[in-house]
Amino acid sequence: MERTRSWRRARSRKDGRHEAVRPQEARPEKNWKLIYTRADKLHRARQLGMSYPICTTRQLLDQE
Q: Which residues contact 51 (CB under 8 A, 6 or more apart)?
A: 45
- Tell me, yes or no, if the pTM score tops 0.85: no
Alpha carbon distance 25, 8 (integer Å): 19
The pLDDT, as a whole number, for residue 7 is 85
pLDDT given at position 19: 56
Question: Structural domain tally of the chain?
Answer: 1
* Domain interval for residue 14: 5-63
- Cβ(29)–Cβ(35) under 8 Å? yes
The 10s digit of each residue's pLDDT in 1-56 is 688 988 888 887 776 655 555 555 556 667 877 888 888 888 888 888 888 887 78
Give me the pLDDT at residue 22, please: 56
How far, in Å, CA of 17 to CA of 15, rounded? 6
**Cβ–Cβ < 8 Å for 45, 51:** yes
